[in-house]
């Protein structure tokens, strides 16, 4: 994790500021391909901590 990422802040929909944490997890993500087919894969999420005590999980972009 770079210093830029550690200090990154994002705002929630109600105006709450969120900061990135070192907490990560894998979650099964289901992506529909068409009406009858879907793709399941494990994807990485990272937790963000809000200044008001709330937490949210955001998908981590995979870069090859």
Reduced to 3 states (helix: H, G, I; strand: E, B; else coil), residue 45 is: strand
How many of the other CB atoms lie within 10 Å of CB of 44? Answer: 14
pLDDT band at 64 (very low <50, low <70, confident <90, very high): confident
**Per the domain annotation, does 64 fall within a domain?**
no
pLDDT tens digits along 20-44: 999 999 999 999 999 899 999 999 9
**Per the domain annotation, does 32 fall within a domain?**
yes
Contact partners, residue 7, CB within 8 Å, separation at least 6: none
Tell if the pTM clears 0.75, that is, is over it.
no
Domain boundaries, position 49: 3-59
**Per the domain annotation, does 45 fall within a domain?**
yes
The H or E element that residue 3 is part of is helix 3-6
Of the two residues 18 and 5, the one the predictor is more confident about is 18
């Amino acid at each position: 994790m770079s210093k830029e990422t550690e200090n990154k802040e994002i705002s929630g929909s109600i105006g709450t500021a969120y900061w990135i944490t070192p907490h990560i997890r894998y979650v099964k993500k289901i992506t529909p391909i068409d009406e009858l087919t879907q793709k399941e894969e494990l994807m990485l999420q990272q937790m963000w901590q809000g200044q008001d005590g709330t937490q949210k999980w955001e998908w981590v972009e995979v870069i090859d």
